[in-house]
Each structure stands twice: as structure tokens, then as C-alpha cells.
Structure 1
């Protein structure tokens, strides 16, 4: 369980903290790990007074672990000869 907590807290949370605001154009922000915020909905989000959404740290860990574990399919790669090939 310590390993899973480490993955969710460090890798997942950090990935989400970096990517989620960027991907949503600052409409979703991620709460800090040691926050006293309350009243999140069952998905782990709550609406801020400025209209943005705030994601709690636990949900951010799960989202980040999912994003970090996704296979990178469909991206183009250059091989040694300089030709472009697509990943399977």
C-alpha cells in the first residue's frame, strides 16, 4: 500500500497539477496536498467563486496516475533514416 500511495501522491498528483490547468485553459485548478478545503462533490470537484473548478488532491492523484499510464498511440516518430513512422 505504501507504493500505491507514493504513486498516487507523488506521480499522479504532480502530473495532474501540471497538466490539468494547462489542458483546461486554467478552468480547472488542483488543490494543494495539505489543504483544509471541504464540500467537494462525489467526483472530487467543487466550484470556486470565480467560476473555475477545484479538484481535490485525492482525485488529482487518480487522474494523474491514469494520464501517466496511458499508452502513447498515434504519435509520429522519426527513425534513424529520418523518415516519419506512426506508432501502432
Structure 2
């Protein structure tokens, strides 16, 4: 979670500081120097991909933990499914 928040914050900060003059953010006619757009876009895409990967990792985390529990298999499947419902929500978005 910490690493995902750090990557997202860096992506956000890059968006804010990409222009040498803050006015260039909203004024198309302002002059100044800005960073290369592909650099910002590449890091933003990396940030989104990393966030999606971490969503899958965190949704799958309950499964290895519940396998070791000494309860019936039906309860293991029910608990694991309930705890990793975020994986189902990610699949619905796609």
C-alpha cells in the first residue's frame, strides 16, 4: 500500500511540475518551457499498471492464508471469496 501511494503521489507531482510557469497549465497561449510529454505519460501509465497489479495482489492475498486454516473447505472458499471480492469488482470494470 505504501509503495502504491508513493508511485501515485510521484505521478501526481510530475503532473503539477511539468511546466516551468504554472500559468501554462490552464492558459494555452502562455509561453514557457515544459517537460517532454511522453515522459509524463509513460510514468502515468506505469503508475496505473502498478496500481492494477497491486489490486490483484491484495485481492488474492487471503487465499494462501485461509488454506492453512483448520476449517471445512466450504468455509475456506466462502471466507476467501468474501475477502477477495475486490478481484471480482476489478473484473467487472474490464
TM over 0.5: no
For CA contacts below 8 A with separation 6 or more, give which structure has more relative contact order.
Answer: 1
Question: Per residue, is there more strand in 1 or in 2?
Answer: 1
Q: Normalized against structure 1, the TM-score is what?
A: 0.30
Q: Normalized against structure 2, the TM-score is what?
A: 0.28
- The structure with the largest alpha-carbon Rg is 2
Question: Per residue, is there more helix in 1 or in 2?
Answer: 2
